[in-house]
Chain A
Amino acid sequence: MRRQSLIAAAALAAATFGPAVGTVAQAQDKVLVPCVCELSGAGAVSGSNYRDGAKLALEEINAAGGVLGKQLVMNDYDTQTDPQTSRALVQKAIDDGAYVIFGTVYSGSTIVNMLVAKQNGVPQITGSEAPKITQLGNPYIFRTSSSAAKGVPALTAYFKQTLGTKKIAVAWVNNEFGKGGHDVFVSQMKGAGIDVVADVPSEQGQADFAADVSKIKESGAEAVFVYLNEEESARFLKEAKKQGLTVPLVGEVTLTGQKVIDLAGGAADGAYAHVGLTTGADVPSIREFARKFQAKYGRDTDHNGIKGYIGMYAIKYVTELVGSFDREAFAKKMHGLTLDVAKYPGMLLTTSWDDTGELSRESFMTKVVDGKQKVVGLVPAN
């Protein structure tokens, strides 16, 4: 009887703790890199591309043996492009055991949710571009694209020397992304002696741009700097064409993106933009990435897809340089790091980060020609 009781107790213990031990062992073979991204709402275009680019990289990395012998796992956490939701989801992802947080893309969300990651000492690979993000002293935030503070100045020479502009209008979205770019741009124009004759803010998700375009037309601007998110850029371009606005429309990052071209159709033709990344670049590694993305998802992507791809590879390379899954060591390693594309091909271009997590890399001037984004110039890293 006593022997039977002992056997029963042992069986009960095995049944209770065995699966848990198995689960822990199984979990130790996998590393969670959650995508806290905008998969619905105004940011669905950006977040979905970011996630899909990252997934492509993750599958390649896992097929090649993973990182330090472990497989990467990426679960989706849809922020619905809402900052408070993104904050809660970053906390949830950390509670679920995230090694590194992947996302968010919208700057308004990142500024809110990165405080959670910072408090928990979890590195975060963001697709956001508002300058403020790397100015708040967060040692765990790292970009996958240069901010407006680096990108917008590249346009100053274009407006002043190439277009010879003396009067310019600014159409910008009133969120963290737009405000950051707007402030840098206005300051740059002042320094270059170019008058900002129309300063036209719009709201995120805005559908009707009739008044905005009308104000710009009336201002006598010789060119327009358009700094809106993807859907709003498309609506702006369609309205500009409808109202016969013929001055050059020049953007930063979004205006000549593939999704904007798809949404705006012929209205996008002739638009210019400075972009940090583009699938239209005549760079073999980027062309190969674009081909792989198209083959996997049946569609073209934009700069967000590239950001996601290189962000995931950055996690792989930095972790391997550190030699372990150590979050603190990961963050320390990234500061001041340069990943040469010759040695780290997944980065697609040689990429550097400074002590604030700000990124430097060569970039491109693009133009939409016959419904396609074409690279018309190269801008060296600054």
Chain B
Amino acid sequence: MAQFIQVLLSGLATGSIYAMAAVGFTLIWQAAKTVNFAQGEFVMLPAFFVLIAHHALHLPFWLSLAVGLAAAVFVLGYLFKRLIVEPMLPVTGLPLIISTMALAIVLKESVKEFYGAEAQPFPELFPQDTIPVLDAVVSVQDLLNLAVSLSVVTALTLFLNRTRTGRCMQATAQNPDVAEILGVNTRRMVLYTFLINAALAALASFLISPVYLAKFSNGETLGLIAFIAAIVGGFNQIRGALVGGLLIGVLDNLTATYVTAEYRAALPLVLLILIIMVRPQGLVGTSEGRAV
């Protein structure tokens, strides 16, 4: 029982971080009708912004985090939208998707070239203590990672549902033409979506890098898992991305612990195939209509 609790909590903590990246996929899909194949690199890169601020500029760690977040929002939100997405929007579809693939390669190789190919230590955000929970020894870091991720996703959901700006963003995602007619500044709403995605990716980066270490190749795995989580949960629902992320995190850990460690990497792919065959809209997605 103790082992099960430990593995479950650890899976939920990791899964909640996957969920934040998966929510980003959902947001970008709604805003630009594209799949951002650089999402994994969007999670990889902010850790290096923080390391540069902390080691090269000698800023205190918490200030470095703030600088990293601001840099991520500007580069991966504003610049991404202005320089990559906007020129491609008139020809949405394959060209934009391929552009994000190219962007992923550029980001990955740039970090490898200009920062280094080796993994870098990333300072812990939370204490490394453990607390007893029903015979299990549970990590405070896992609990806080889970709490932060769930809080952020909850806050985002409340923002989208309960604020005027959030409802305008939803309206833009559902029908931009009608939203514009009704006086919504759709360009600004789309920009906000990209900025929020960049912030989510940065937060995911700060939470996962102490465990995964900061490395240029992290984006490959994270991006794939987040993409699968978004599809499994439901690509047109934020709560779908949350469910998908948590599910994959937990199942991955349970499989590796109780079934087989050798084939744990295959689990998300098997899940993806099953969901597409049985319920293509995802576990909590809707089969028609769009909702952020």
Contact = CB atoms under 8 A, between A and B. Distances in A.
A41 B121 contact: no
A203 B139 CA distance: 24
Given A44-B117, A243-B6, A203 B265 contact: yes
> What size tier do the contact residues of chain B reach?
35 or more
Interface string A231-266: 100110011011110000000000000010011111
Interface stretch (A24-32, A179-187, A213-221, A343-351): A213-221
Contact of B128 (A39, A212, A242): A242
A210 B261 contact: no
> What size tier do the contact residues of chain A reach?
35 or more
A234 B213 contact: yes
Contacts, number: 96
B119 A202 contact: no
A174 B262 contact: yes
Interface centre among A238, A264, A266 (most CB of B within 10 A): A238
A369 interface: no
A45 interface: yes
Contacts of B7: 210-211, 214
Nearest to A231: B119
A243 B3 CA distance: 10
Given A214-B257, A242-B130, A263 B6 contact: no
Contacts of B119: 44-45, 231, 234, 263
Question: Main SS of chain B's interface residues?
Answer: helix
A244 B130 contact: yes
B217 interface: yes
Contacts of A45: 118-119
Contact of A242 (B112, B142, B218, B265): B142
Given A48-B118, A231-B119, A211 B137 contact: no
Interface in A31-61: 39-41, 44-45, 48
Interface centre among A45, A211, A235, A259 (most CB of B within 10 A): A211
Q: Which A-B residue pairs are the 4 nearest by beta carbons? A: A211-B256, A40-B117, A210-B10, A44-B117
7 contacts: A40-B112, A203-B265, A207-B221, A208-B252, A231-B119, A242-B128, A242-B141
Interface of A: 39-41, 44-45, 48, 174, 200-203, 205, 207-208, 210-212, 214-215, 217-218, 231, 234-235, 238-239, 241-244, 259, 262-267
Given A211-B264, A263-B213, 20 more contacts: A41-B117, A44-B117, A200-B261, A201-B261, A202-B261, A208-B14, A210-B7, A211-B10, A211-B256, A214-B6, A214-B10, A217-B3, A234-B121, A235-B212, A238-B210, A238-B211, A241-B128, A242-B142, A243-B130, A263-B119
